[in-house]
């Protein structure tokens, strides 16, 4: 494991979650202000659909375009737009299980009076508790069959050794007529999802799977894996439904949203 990641993991275990969020917010705003000053001639505006606010720009941090007020990145803004427009999360009454909740989405969902929101994370007990987040194991969910109208998991399954068990658990706890909304890293140049239990060092996992704690690199055959769990599956390129102007405004990339239907 790289030294930087060791420091990050140590910070997660020792620094309270609220303090870590405060430090992140300070960094988002610092980058935002610096980049505005450096590009003072620009008159463009962007709009974060999660924050419901306009900004002069997104803060570029690494390869990400970050909303300066809540830290939302492209795939999180895309997921929100998809759920707002296609699942009607601002008006429909529903119960949502959100696995490994991102702070920006956690804050937004928690404000929705029409939603019974259940955020859960297996890491929470070891990484200084985030208030309001339930301990859950996606391969062994402590919920009754058909408990949720929606299960949301962004970039989670690539961390789980037995992803087929996790997929089956998502199917079990969803109501008939419910929806699973999933994103994972996908390498579309691969013919088949690549995984090898002999690859276990953090260095090799980063080399072959893209990150030190990933256990596979998915290909488009992830659709077959979910179908094996019982789902109807749609691989949705939702960003393509927006104009180029709106993709820039919302700061979207062409990520694939996996929409699971239990029917």
The CATH number of the domain holding residue 126 is 3.40.50.150
Taking phi over 0 as left and psi of -120 to 50 as alpha, with beta for the rest, 132 belongs to left
Decide if 130 is inside a domain.
Answer: yes
pLDDT at 129: 64
State the angle between helix axes of 74-86 and 103-110 in degrees (0 to 180), rounded to the nearest 10: 30
Burial of 177 (0-12, 13-18, 19+ CB in 10 A): exposed
pLDDT at 111: 96
Structural domain including 150 reads 74-261
| pLDDT above 60: residue 125 | no
Average pLDDT over residues 204-230: 96
CA distances from 41 to 36, 56, 96, 123, 215 (A): 9, 11, 43, 44, 45
Decide if 152 is inside a domain.
Answer: yes
Average pLDDT over residues 240-250: 97
CA distances from 240 to 36, 45, 47, 55, 167 (A): 28, 20, 18, 23, 27
Where residue 15 falls among pLDDT bands split at 50, 70, 90? confident
Decide if 34 is inside a domain.
Answer: no
Decide if 24 is inside a domain.
Answer: no
Average pLDDT over residues 180-184: 98
* Number of other CB atoms surrounding residue 141 within 10 Å: 19
Q: Two tokens at 126?
A: 């070891």
Distance CA 167, CA 157 (A): 9
Decide if 80 is inside a domain.
Answer: yes
Average pLDDT over residues 169-180: 98
The count of structural domains within the chain is 1
Place of tokens 């570029």: 60
- Tell me the per-residue pLDDT of 51-89, one tens digit each, with 9 for 90 and over: 999 999 999 999 999 999 999 999 999 999 999 999 999
Decide if 13 is inside a domain.
Answer: no
Where residue 19 falls among pLDDT bands split at 50, 70, 90? confident
């Amino acid at each position: 494991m790289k030294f930087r990641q060791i420091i990050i993991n140590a910070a997660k275990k020792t620094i309270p979650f609220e303090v870590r969020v405060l430090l992140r917010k300070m960094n988002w705003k610092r980058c935002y202000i610096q980049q505005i000053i450096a590009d003072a001639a620009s008159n463009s505006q962007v709009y974060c659909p999660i924050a419901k606010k306009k900004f002069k720009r997104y803060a570029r941090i690494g390869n990400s375009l970050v909303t300066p007020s809540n830290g939302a990145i492209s795939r999180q803004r895309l997921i929100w737009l998809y759920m707002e427009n296609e699942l009607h999360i601002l008006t429909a009454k529903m119960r949502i299980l959100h696995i490994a909740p991102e702070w920006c989405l956690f804050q937004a969902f928690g404000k929705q009076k029409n939603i019974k929101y259940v955020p859960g994370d297996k890491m929470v007990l070891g990484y200084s508790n985030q208030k309001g987040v339930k301990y859950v194991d996606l391969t062994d969910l402590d919920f009754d069959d058909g408990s949720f109208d929606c299960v949301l998991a962004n970039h989670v399954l690539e961390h789980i050794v037995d992803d087929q068990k996790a997929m089956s658990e998502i199917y079990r706890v969803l109501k008939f007529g419910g929806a699973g909304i999933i994103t994972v890293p996908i390498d579309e140049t691969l013919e088949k999802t690549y995984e090898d239990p002999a690859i276990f060092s953090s260095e090799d996992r980063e080399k072959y799977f893209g990150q030190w704690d990933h256990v596979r690199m998915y290909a488009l055959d992830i659709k077959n894996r979910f179908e094996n769990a019982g789902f109807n599956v749609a691989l949705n390129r939702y960003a393509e439904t927006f104009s180029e102007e709106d993709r820039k405004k919302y700061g979207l990339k062409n990520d694939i949203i996996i929409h699971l239907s239990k029917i």
